[in-house]
Structure 1
Amino acid sequence: MEKKVLKRNEVEAAHKWAIEDLFQKDEDWKQEYEQTKELIVKLGKYQGKLSETPDTLLEFLNMENEVSLHIERIYVYANQKYHEDTSNGTYQGLADQASRLVVELESAMSFVVPEILTIPAETIEKYIAKQPGLKIFQFNLQEILRKKPHTLTAEMEELVAKAGELSEGPKNIFSMFNNADIKFPEIEDENGELVEITHGRFISLMESSNERVRREAFQKLYETYNKFRNTIAATFSANVKQEAFYAKVRQYPSAMDMRLFLSNIPRDVYTNLIASVHENLHLLHRYVSLRKKLMGVEELHMYDLYTPIVTEADVKISYAEAKEMVYEGLRPLGEDYLKVLKEGFDNRWIDVYENEGKRSGAYSWGAYGTHPYVLLNYQETLNNVFTLAHEMGHALHSYYSDAAQPINTAAYKTFVAEVASTCNEALLMEYLLGKTEDKKQRAYLINYFLEQFRSTLYRQAMFAEFEMITHQKAQEGTALTADILCEIYRGLIEQYFGSDIVIDKEIDMEWSRIPHFYTAFYVYQYATGYSAAMALSRKILQEGKTAVDAYINNFLSGGGSDYPIELLKKAGVDMSTREPVNQALALFGRLLDEMETLLA
């Protein structure tokens, strides 16, 4: 691996995303920013007029769409430039400006929902029948009516909107700390050369075949977080409190109920996930025992969970090779899908490599009317190949959704956000498994697949349970101190991983480095999404074009035009039942059987 992290200006242009496709230069951004401020003022002039005529309502909703388009462009550009180098003060400033503009829009629009709620439902139906242009807004209007019990007066909605910037505080503080301020020490790599631990390198170091490298990377990373344990706990607690505040103000039983209601997800989906995982913890315990046996160690530690069991198959994969593997692996999705995928590869949708100050991790994002973008911190591992497939799954979901839907129904809910990405991973895995007859290579891939189940289904379910417990304790009046958070987290680790692994004290602090906890009750959707993706990928592989058409035309192109549970049903998967999660865990069991047979 590279020992030195490049500065942003040292990265080749071909490996940077084409951010200029959004705005050619900052001055263009500033011009659109000012124009959007003026449009927001115009929107406010419709207050008190929405119920006058169907034409007035349509005029307003069309203008709202226009403003939404500008806001997306402004917000995405500012934040993606900031994410290129989080130490860059210029783009910290633009990102702050963009956030303030969002709050300004929300404040100006605070009258809309309460005012629409004064229009009787039958009158809205008549408006839609009389003015065909309102048809594209029908689902949005129905959603407003569904949320009536949790909608406040116009004055209260305005106040809550103005408080929006404050509610982002914990997330922004953690992001600044985790991406710009925290620095990890150097350790010696396998060759005795000094290498700095970074977010992007941590998993690569944990995958090392050298036990000392894994142990030192693990210990040094968590020792660093532990130095800030009280500050991070206070930040975490503040985020939980702001979620509880909004839930209480909007008269939800809890923050979890609030977050689930927004996507119309039954509470049972969340609790059923955890129940199904609990019923199948014996499989995870069995996998941990197998790993201990195959590694031939007297003690298996938490830092031993990532290194491939079949080390002979561990190879470095260049980014060019990764693109080719992903392209071939996604052939079952058809030529149209592959054409769009290649367009993304060839036209700099992707910011490929780590650089100093760059936001950690990976994501897909973008603004309506412009192609999606993908941020990576690519390292030459199989895990990163799957990350590429995963993020391009997000990107193409957005591409198809934006192409088929108007802006007001283009954005898909987070419940389905991880389905397309994980379906890509499942198809890539099946392609790679189908290519090899070699016993060791097959075992290596199955090990990787088992790890995906462990890290995406089991681990994210554990994260979801941690969130459920911590938010519940806060609601009951328990102070979420660092000691309490570590105690809860350790208890879950012990329950999930069983008795055949040493629960190192450092792992107690793992909660402190998970950025997704600052988007409350998000992570469970990785596990449900993974389960749905397993079901969809098998339908695609078994049924071919019929399943592909349903997947692309009914699901990927559906955007936010229907509730997530319904969109998945249209593609052939019913997440309101426990069946998809149970089927996925049954597949985990079968893979475990094969792994035990291959390496017996």
Structure 2
Amino acid sequence: MSQVTKRSEVPNEYRWKLEDLYPNQAAWDAEFKKVKQLAGEIAGYQGKLKDAASIARCFALDDDVSLLTERLYVFANMRHHEDTAEPSYQALSEKSKKLSVEVGEATSFITPEILSLSEEQLTGLIAEPDLAKYKRTLEEMLRQKPHVLSKNEESLLAQVGNVSQAPSTIFGMLNNADLKFPKVKNEKGEEVELTHGRYIQFLESKDRNVRREAFKAMYDTYAKWKNTLASTLSANVTKNLFYSKARKYPSTLEMSLFGDNIPQSVYDNLISTIHEFLPLMHRYMDLRKKLLKLDELHMYDLFAPLVEEFDMEIAYEQAKEKVYDSLTPLGEDYRKVLKEGFDSGWIDIYENEGKRSGAYSWGAFGTHPYVLLNHNDNLNSMFTLTHEMGHALHSYYSDHNNEYRDAQYTIFLAEVASTLNEALLMDYLLKRSTDPKEKMYLLTYYADQFRTTVFRQTMFAEFEKIIHEKAEQGEALTPQELSEIYYGLNVKYYGDGMVVDKDIEMEWARIPHFYNSFYVYKYATGFSAATSFSKQILDEGEPAVERYLGFLKSGGKDYSINILKKAGVDMSTPEPIRQAMSVFKGLIEQMEQLTK
């Protein structure tokens, strides 16, 4: 599979079986018509959602419509992703998107209408036997009620929706379309235009001059636009302040955490616990300086390869075997489902002409999950395989143990199952590695995940918290203020053993996640929870596995924080982050041993 083949030439054993969703196009068309008809029926309930019987019937119909719409949408878009240039699949994808919007509009009256009932009426409905299977939906509505406004106010806020996208849209256009970076010299001395995509490649160069030049060129460019970019970020913070006041939340942070019902203590606790372990990060920086044989470690040295590129050629069949073996600690039931996924057409394996890039796990309730890959025979692709199968098995267990409404887990939980699989694969590879070079390659690969996913994302989360608090206190977010805060955090996180170059103060200007406020902390909590689970599973065995499988089976039938807590990972305490840090410490110790 070395050259890129046309989709029509891809052998069946390398394709996913979308026929498990719809055997043919005619079946899809028939279901499409059915959804149109059912969406019309839902409108008949408008103005009638006053009693338990009507609400139960409306909810049941809503479930049918939502599930069928989801199936139609997933199938159409996965077909489109097989070959994005194929016009008939483009049309199918568009058709499914329009249907989703129509269904969204047809069902949009349900929540506001129920919320217009008094608190007493809502509490009464929660106790009704007819609505037992919708208890969680109603409890969630009751929880949201204090933050839902009158019909007219809600209508006004909906109209502001488009305006509120402006900071993010403007940043996106400026960052992706208008910003032009200068040319820098590559290893061969050739002048190459710097782009977002090439930046990391330059920072991974073995030639320090290439790294330094790319780093300076990147931040000099952002510095020229600092006033515009500070205004854009400040406007996004102002938008958050507007919504938190309009919806009567104590702060922007609490508003952002409310949806997943995450206490603010989880966010604060992540930051304070990582502060406690910053000496470990500083120790890793010292080790990086030693391995790179440098007198001074600079910010542009953070992505430089620590070991000679170790070429690990791993064919897909071999990757499957290693993933299967590495997940032995999760027990036979888990591996049986995993094997079914490998053997039964869940996975679309190799790249083909027009296929969507990257990888994902997706699917619709009622059929098995699907995984899209663009597999290359290397270490990264093997980790991608176990990562996506972690998501797929989470969905499988969730769907098989819950009603449709309760099966969908939150983003807060989503990365736990995928990252846990990666942690077990890494443990498996390290225990079996006999070549010191290979071992060092694996250790640096894993240690850098801790640096980028736990420490760096927590630093981002702390930056967001500080700038929102300053805005809430009426302070202006000038470019100088933003740069000063950001630079100070870098000094704190990377330590005295490192030269924190002044240019890094402009990095806040290029982080797109800051326009999806208070989101990045989930990367750090997810990674910490997964690492904590893997440590418990490897240390305790069976009892920890049972708790973990309980977590996978819980779907979304309780709040994320409670689901994790029941499974033995309490994110409201420092413990899971401490467990993750003990794993990180072990990696550093092994690396130090190998460098003696």
TM category, shorter: 0.7 to 0.9
Spell out, residue by residue over 1:350-377, the C-alpha distance to the aligned partner (whole angstroms, 9 max, x if none).
5765988956x65444433344344566
- In 1: Cα distance, 2:283 partner to 2:579 partner: 18
Structure 2 residue 28 is matched with structure 1 residue 55? no
- Cα shift readout 1:512-540 (whole Å, capped 9, x = no counterpart): 55444343222112212222212211222
Q: Which amino acid aligns with 1:463?
A: F
Q: 1:385 corresponds to which residue?
A: 382
Among candidates 139, 148, 161, match of residue 136 of structure 2: 139
Distance (Å, rounded) in 2 between the aligned partners of 1:437 and 1:304: 28
Decide which of 540, 556, 569 is 2:537's aligned counterpart.
540
Percent of matched pairs sharing the same residue:
49
2:563 to 561, 564, 567: 567
SS of residue in 2 equivalent to 1:588: helix
Give the number of the structure whose alpha-carbon radius of gyration is greater: 2
User: 1:97 Cα shift?
Assistant: 3.9
Contact 2:82 2:356 in 1 (8 A): yes
Q: Is the 8 Å Cα contact of residues 532 and 577 (structure 2) preserved in structure 1?
A: no
Q: Post-superposition shift, 1:59?
A: 0.7
| Structure 2 match to 1:311 | 308
- Cα separation, 2, equivalents of 1:102 and 1:358: 27
CA contact (8 A) 2:408 2:556 kept: yes
**Range with bigger deviation, 533-542 or 35-44:** 35-44
When residues 60 and 353 of structure 1 are mapped into structure 2, their CA distance, relative to the original with a 3 A threshold, is: same
Q: Which moved more, 1:206-215 or 1:145-154?
A: 206-215
Write the deviation string for residues 6-51 of structure 1: whole angstroms up to 9, x where unpaired: 7997995877766776678999878866764654453343233223
Which range moved further: 117-126 or 167-176? Answer: 167-176
Verify: 1:287 aligned to 2:298, yes or no. Answer: no
Q: State whether structure 2 residue 365 is matched by structure 1 residue 368.
A: yes
Normalized against structure 1, the TM-score is what?
A: 0.82
Pick which of 189-198 and 30-39 moved more. Answer: 189-198
Compute the displacement of 1:219 (Å). 5.7
Is residue 2:452 matched to residue 1:455?
yes
Equivalence for 2:579: 583
1:72 corresponds in structure 2 to: 70
| Alignment pair present for 1:299 and 2:296 | yes
Opposite residue 578 of structure 1, the aligned amino acid is P
CA drift at 1:123:
2.3
After superposition, what is the alpha-carbon deviation per residue over 1:407-466, rounded to whole angstroms, capped at 9, x for unaligned?
211111222222112211211111111112343433332222221211111111112112
Residue 526 of structure 2 corresponds to 529
Please say which of residues 24-33 and 214-223 is displaced more in the overlay.
24-33
- TM-score of the pair, normalised by structure 2: 0.82
Question: Equivalents in 2 of 1:224, 1:85: separation in Å?
Answer: 37
Deviation per CA, 1:125-144, whole angstroms, max 9, x where unpaired? 4412xx3xx32212222222
Q: Aligned in 2, Cα 1:51/1:171: closer, same or farther, shift over 3 Å? A: same
Q: Secondary structure of the equivalent of 1:49?
A: coil
Matching residue of 1:120: 121
Q: Letter of the 1:425 partner, please give it.
A: E
Report the Cα offset of residue 62 of structure 1.
Answer: 0.8
CA-to-partner distance for each residue in 1:369-422, whole Å, 9 max, x for gaps?
A: 344344566666544533432233222212221222122111112222221122
Q: What is the aligned partner in structure 2 of residue 556 from structure 1?
A: 552
CA contact (8 A) 2:7 2:82 kept: no
SS at match of 1:45: helix
Q: Distance in 2 between matches of 1:273 and 1:317?
A: 36
Which amino acid letter does the alignment assign opposite residue 577 of structure 2? V
CA-to-aligned-CA distance 1:459-479 (integer Å, 9 cap, x gap): 111121122123333434455
Cα deviations by residue, 1:229-257 (Å, 9 ceiling, x for unpaired): 66665654454444333322221112210
CA contact (8 A) 1:103 1:165 kept: no
Q: Distance in 1 between matches of 2:30 and 2:580?
A: 50
Residues in 1 aligned to 2:298 and 2:471: alpha-carbon distance in whole angstroms? 31
Q: How does 1:427-438 map to 2 (within 5 A)?
A: 427-438=424-435
The AA in structure 2 aligned to 1:372 is P
Mean Cα deviation higher: 296-305 or 341-350: 341-350
The C-alpha deviation readout for 1:73-116, integer Å capped at 9, x for no partner, is 45556776787899999679669746744762564334244145
- Residue 443 of structure 1 pairs with residue 440 of structure 2: yes
**Using the alignment, how far apart are the partners of 2:546 and 2:348 within structure 1?**
27
Distance 2:182 2:73 in 1: 34
Change over 3 Å in CA distance of 1:103–1:47 after alignment to 2: closer
- 1:465 paired with 2:462, answer yes
- Give the C-alpha shift of residue 158 in structure 1: 4.8
Structure 2 CA distance for aligned equivalents of residues 520 and 196 of structure 1: 31
Alignment of 1:66-105 (within 5 A): 66-73=64-71, 76=74, 97=98, 100-101=101-102, 104-105=105-106
What does residue 276 of structure 1 align with?
Answer: 273
Quick one: distance in 1 between partners of 2:409 and 2:114? 20
Change (3 A) 1:63 1:581: same
Q: Secondary structure at 1:48's aligned position in 2?
A: coil
2:592 is matched with 596
Letter in 2 for 1:408: R
Between the two proteins, the alignment pairs up a number of residues equal to 590
Alignment check: 8 A CA contact 2:183 2:192 kept: yes
Structure 1 residues 171 and 489: CA distance shift in structure 2, 3 A: same
Letter in 2 for 1:72: E
Distance 2:6 2:469 in 1: 43
Contact 1:39 1:67 in 2 (8 A): yes
Residue 128 of structure 2 aligns to a residue in which SS? helix
CA distance in 1 between partners of 2:536 and 2:590 (Å): 22
* Structure-2 change in CA distance of 1:225 and 1:100 (3 Å): farther
CA distance 1:493–1:72, shift in 2 (3 Å): farther
Distance 1:458 1:403 in 2: 36
Distance 1:191-1:362 versus aligned 2 partners, 3 A rule? farther
Secondary structure of the corresponding residue to residue 499 of structure 2: coil
Distance (Å, rounded) in 1 between the aligned partners of 2:29 and 2:184: 44
Match of 2:41 in 1: 42
Cα distance in 2 for residues equivalent to 1:324 and 1:180: 43
- Identify if the C-alpha distance between structure 1 residues 16 and 458 changes in structure 2 by more than 3 Å, giving closer, same or farther: farther
Q: Contact (CA 8 Å) 1:74, 1:98: kept in 2 or not?
A: no
Rounded to whole Å, the distance in 2 between the matches of 1:342 and 1:216 is 48
Separation of aligned partners in 2, 1:490 and 1:509: 8
Is the contact between residue 233 and residue 515 of structure 2 (CA under 8 Å) also seen in structure 1? yes
8 Å contact kept, 2:513–2:519: yes
Q: Which residue of 1 aligns with 2:337?
A: 340
CA contact (8 A) 1:107 1:158 kept: no
Inter-CA distance 20–514: structure 2 relative to 1 (3 Å threshold): farther
Pairwise CA RMSD: 4.3
Structure 1, unaligned runs of 5 or more: none
Question: What is the CA deviation profile of residues 146-186 of structure 1, one whole-angstrom value per residue up to 9, with x for unaligned ones?
Answer: 22322223444455456556555655676677788989899
CA contact (8 A) 1:493 1:503 kept: yes
Q: Which residue does 2:260 correspond to in 1? A: 263
Query: Residues 82 and 95 of structure 1 are in contact (CA less than 8 Å); yes or no, is this contact kept in structure 2?
Result: no
Q: Of the candidates 499, 503, 507, which is equivalent to residue 500 of structure 2?
A: 503
Q: Distance in 1 between matches of 2:275 and 2:222?
A: 29
Quick one: structure 1 residues 380 and 196, their matched pair in 2 at CA, closer, same or farther if it must change by over 3 Å? farther
**Cα pair 1:207 1:307 within 8 Å, conserved:** yes
